[in-house]
Structure 1
Amino acid sequence: MTYKKKISELFLIKGGSPQVRIKVSKNTDARNYFFYDQNHLLQDISQSEIEDSAVEKTIKTEDTVEVAEENDLIISLISATSAKVSVQHQGYLISQNYVKLVPIDENIIDENYVIYLLNESHLVKKQLARQLQGSNFVKVTIAILKNLEIPMIPIEKQRQIGKWYMKTNRLNTLRQRVEMNQKRLADELIERGIINVTL
């Protein structure tokens, strides 16, 4: 029989830096940070190296702030989705809308398995829906996150599921990229009159 553990029993939860408390610095030596946002999270879920063309929000500060490191497990409190930070988003500032999960013992929990559960599992989504009932805010709180229960299965099976999920996301991204490139090429050939299209 599968037993469950709360996220708070498996991970240390580190909240992001509250934006309103970060002091903007005019010092030229102060570090300039990019804010980690939902687009970055989606890119990290799909493992896409392509950055979108949107202007990224930045802040220059001398304050000590929470930053993303490669392979950090990040959860969005707005969308309740999670990803591992890619190298392209290393050093980005994590705001209060995101939290990091740091495993207490990597021998009993696989991070990729937890990402799969948070993003895809109906059991986890039902728990969230139950806890958010009657709330005017869709945003997940750290308190709610701490009490989410994770189905515990042998670590080898967790790793298999986590690896499969990561590979599947990567393959889907590559397929979409191939389809997009094929469409672009077809459009270009049609425009140049190399391919005739009869309607």
Structure 2
Amino acid sequence: MKKAGKILKISSGSPQFRIQAVFDHVAPLYFFYGQNEIDNDLVGLNIDKSERKSVRTFDQVITVSEGDVVFSLVSGQATLVRKIHEGYLLTQNYVKINLNEQLDNKYLTYILNEDDNIKKQLKLGLQGSQVLKYTLKQIREIDMPAIPALSMQRLIGDVYFNQIHLQALKKQTADLETVSTLEKLKRIDKNERIEI
């Protein structure tokens, strides 16, 4: 078995506390790539539309590109960056994984999220007393499983992302149906009430 750090280029995001924010409108504006973006990219939808955190800075910062594999050191979840989040700023709570030509990015996302052996390795090395957090070193030390041929990786990766997208759509539909039904019940209840 090969260590992830030997076959993949794994780099940490920009340390947030070192970024010098400026109020000069000439400075580039960066939106932060965070857990909401990871969740949205993984399911292929824009589910959470909460306000995006941003910063203006002249500093050199690490940003993400479409197709990058990003792993959260906080949630232990990996995703594939979509075009909508290209150029977002990556902080030290995330790592960016650059692949070699023998590994498909969707397949890598799949095994980081679903492979039982990788999950076990990650759980064994959790750090922190109050807040459990993975480390860059820990990600580099993952023993990678045997990898199938590239054509099979692509097939598995595509099916994985399609299934997660479908599951998110079904949940979204069920949530909308619940809201609609509750609104109907409230209207019926209001119209049927009588003074006692």
TM-score when scaled to structure 1?
Answer: 0.85
> Residue 189 of structure 1: SS of its match in structure 2?
helix
Give per-residue Cα distances to partners, 1:53-75, cap 9 Å, x unaligned: 3x322211011111121221101
Is the aligned partner of 1:187 residue 2:190? no
Aligned-partner SS, 1:100: strand
The answer (yes or no) to whether the contact 1:18–1:96 under 8 Å persists in 2 is yes
Deviation at 1:26, TM superposition (A): 2.3
Aligned to 2:167: 172
Give ranges in structure 1 of 5+ residues lacking alignment. Answer: none
CA contact (8 A) 1:67 1:93 kept: yes
Residue 58 of structure 1 corresponds to which residue in structure 2? 54
Deviations 1:53-110 (A, max 9, x none): 3x322211011111121221101111221001122222211001111111122xx212
Following superposition, the deviation at residue 44 of structure 1 comes to 1.4
Percent of residue pairs bearing the same amino acid type: 34
Q: Deviation of residue 121 (structure 1)?
A: 1.8
Separation in 2, partners of 1:182, 1:129: 37
Asked if residue 5 in structure 1 is aligned to residue 26 in structure 2, the reply is: no
Pairing of 1:68-147 with structure 2 (within 5 A): 68-105=64-101, 108-132=102-126, 136=129, 138-147=132-141
**What is the CA distance between 1:125 and its match in structure 2?**
1.1
Aligned length, in residue pairs: 189
Q: Find the residue that maps to 1:5 and give its secondary structure.
A: coil
1:187 Cα deviation (Å)?
Answer: 2.5
Q: Is the 8 A contact 1:41 1:83 kept in 2?
A: yes
CA drift of 1:154 comes to 2.2
**How far apart are residue 11 of structure 1 and its match?**
1.5
TM-score under structure 2 length normalisation: 0.86
One of 10, 17, 22 as aligned partner of 2:19:
22
Mapped partners of 1:153, 1:114: distance in 2: 10
Q: Is the 8 A contact 1:34 1:59 kept in 2?
A: yes
